[in-house]
Structure formats: structure tokens, C-alpha cells
Amino acid sequence: MQIRFISPGEYHEWDSFVDNSPQGDVFCYSWWLSTVTDNNFRILAVWKNNLICAAMILPFFDSGVINEPPLTRTLGVLFRRTENIEPYHAKSEERKYLIALVEHLPKERFVQMCMSDNFTDWLPFLWKGYKQKNRCTYLIDYREQSLESIRKNISINQKRNIIKAINSGAKIIASGTVEQLYELSCITYKRQGIRFHYSFSLLKKLDTQLAEKNMRVIFSSVFPDGKVHGIYYTMWTGKKVYGWQMASDDIQRDNGGNALLLYSVIEYFYKKADTFNFGGSDIERIEKYLRQFGGKMVPYFHIFNDEMLDYSQQESLEKTLMYSKILFRKSWNRLIGIKLRRIPGFIIKMLKNKMRIFA
């Protein structure tokens, strides 16, 4: 058994390893890592008989810190797929490889990493003083459900929204552009009072590579006015599909377009894929929304070094910002309610339009 970094000349072997690993995701390919880190990453691997048996991706290694790259959901540790081996022996081998990787991980440089939902053994990290927090995503396993059972598991409220969008004349087409995604993402973030913090150039670079490799479909929601009001960017590796980015404007939201868009995507990949990953979120309102589309909640590990990442302060800041925005909206709505009868209609309309940046 040998522990060493994978060289750039071996990236083709690494990408084949990702294809076959149970933990392999789109985010793990060398070309993805190269794009999101500007070639600043290393891959620490366990080799046996000239084969990669396990590996850990280390983004921004040469900058002195190991941290999550932008637009990248999960990385972490990957294992070679084992066949014709008893489960106990397979897990014992994986544990041995994982201990070796963690031993070689410079803790003083490690900040955080989200693992694949297929990574289940974080104990070697615990024994070395790392912390973890459970995050959750939602999965639909097409192999276990018929399309009819998926429909039955959608909430009544979202079924109403789907019908509302259809009656509004919305059409979902498997055609869209990254330019439309970026424009609508900026609108979505502005509605929440924050700036969309990913550059268009990075999105464009990733989209170009995904398109060249035929690994993505961008779905659009088009209303009778002929304009695109919602975008859902999906990508896949093997038989696994990921809902990567979703964005919409007020017309889409107000007319149930998001529900129709999401359901249409789920239906599109039925019999084309094994699983559909919604992506999930720790934000309560987003989690509540995704939960209504029949997926199964699946946890995954967010492993971090608490000496490098103060989770309590991070959560406190996030909650403070969230509650501040909620309090502002409530106060504004109360003010509008009190003054409605005294303000001319055109001014009320103008104020409501201004309010949307905080919605």
C-alpha cells in the first residue's frame, strides 16, 4: 500500500476512478476541480497494485488551506467499488484506507469539506479531533418507485401549484442557456436582499465543459408572453442526476411555475437515470419546499476543523441575518397595512415593487 498525490499525468486514471466509485460525483472530476480552484488542488490517494483504492480531494492545497470550492456540493473521500467481497471485509479495507488518508491530512490546514451521501464512516476523522455536522438532501430512487407513486408523494399544495401553472399557460422545455440562469439567479438573490456571489465567467466555463461532455440539460419555464421566467440546471454522471441550480422571477413564483418546472424535470429523467438528487438545503423554507416533491431525506457529513471554522459563530451570523430580514419584512408589511387607505394606488404599487428586493 502506497500513499501519494495523484500527478496531473494520472488525471485520466482518476476520472475513470470517479466514474466507478460509489462516492463519485460530477464535482470530483479533474476538469471540474481545475475550473473551480483555478488548478489549485491536490488529490491524495491510496495505491495498491498500481490501482487507486481510495482518495481524498484537497482543494486549494497549495494556498495553505483546504476548503470547499464555489458551486461544488460534495467532494471528500472516494473508495473503489468492491465486488465479490463480503461486506465486513470490504468495510475493513475501506477503514484501513481512510485511516491512512486522515493520518496524512494536515489538520492545521483543513477548514471544511462536505462528503458524498454514500460516505458513511467518519470515525477516523473523529478520532483525530475533527468535527462533523449532518446536512441533508432529498433523493428520488427511480429504481424503487413508479412514476405514479412519485406523483402520489407530491404534496397537495404543490399539486395545486402545478395545475395553476398549467392553467396559466406555462410550458417546460429542455432548452435553456447559462446566460438565462445567471440573469434569473441575480433576480432571485436580489429579491432576498443579497448579491449573487458567483461570477458569470465561472458559470460559463463549467457550462461549456458540461455541454461538451453531454452531461447537462437546462430546463426552461416559458409563459404565454414568450419569455423564460424560470430555469433549472441539471447535470449527471453515470445514472445519477443532480439538480444543481434553480432560479426564477416573480411571474414564475406567483403562478406555480417552480412546482411545474421541478416536477417536469423529475418526470423527464424517469427511466433515464437511477437517482435524482434535489441538492437539499439547511435553510428551513427551502427544505420545506423540496420535501413536498416525494424525495427521501438522506443525510451527508459536513466535516470541519473547529480551530479553523467556528461553526457557532457562523450559525449565529446566518440566523441574525435571516431574522433581521424577516423582522424588516414584517415591519414594512405592518406599515403598509396601516397606511393603505391614505396612500394613492400608484404609490402603493411603486412601494410594493421596491419591497420585492427584500422578499
Q: Is the pLDDT of residue 46 over 60?
A: yes
Residue 217 C-alpha cell reads as 440539460
* Total of domains in the chain: 2
Host domain of residue 263:
138-299
Average pLDDT, the chain: 87
Helix and strand tally (H, E) in the chain? 13, 12
Please identify which residue in the block is written with the cell numbers 451521501.
117
Distance CA 56, CA 46 (A): 9
User: What does the radius of gyration of the chain's CA atoms come to, in whole angstroms?
Assistant: 23
CATH number at residue 154: 3.40.630.30
pTM, full prediction: 0.83
Distance CA 66, CA 59 (A): 5
Q: Is the pLDDT of residue 332 over 70?
A: no
State pLDDT tens for residues 114-162. Answer: 999 999 999 999 999 999 999 999 999 999 999 999 999 999 999 999 9
Distance CA 122, CA 112 (A): 13
State pLDDT tens for residues 182-219. Answer: 999 998 888 777 777 789 999 999 999 999 999 999 99
Q: Give CA 239 to chain center in angstroms.
A: 17
Q: Of 335, 267, 301, which Cα lies nearest the Cα of 137?
A: 301
Give the range among 122-131, 273-282, 346-355 with minimum mean pLDDT: 346-355
Within this chain, do residues 65 and 115 fall inside the same structural domain, yes or no? yes
pLDDT of residue 226: 92
> What 3-state class would DSSP assign to 320?
helix
Last residue of a domain, one of 258, 281, 299: 299
Q: What is the DSSP annotation of 250-300?
A: HHHHHTTHHHHHHHHHHHHTBTTBSEEE----SSHHHHHHHTTBSPEEEEE
Within this chain, do residues 97 and 193 fall inside the same structural domain, yes or no? no
Q: Of 117, 75, 123, 114, which Cα lies nearest the Cα of 96?
A: 123
pLDDT of residue 343: 46
Give 63's contacts (C-beta < 8 A, 6+ positions apart).
40
Residue 79 C-alpha cell reads as 473508495
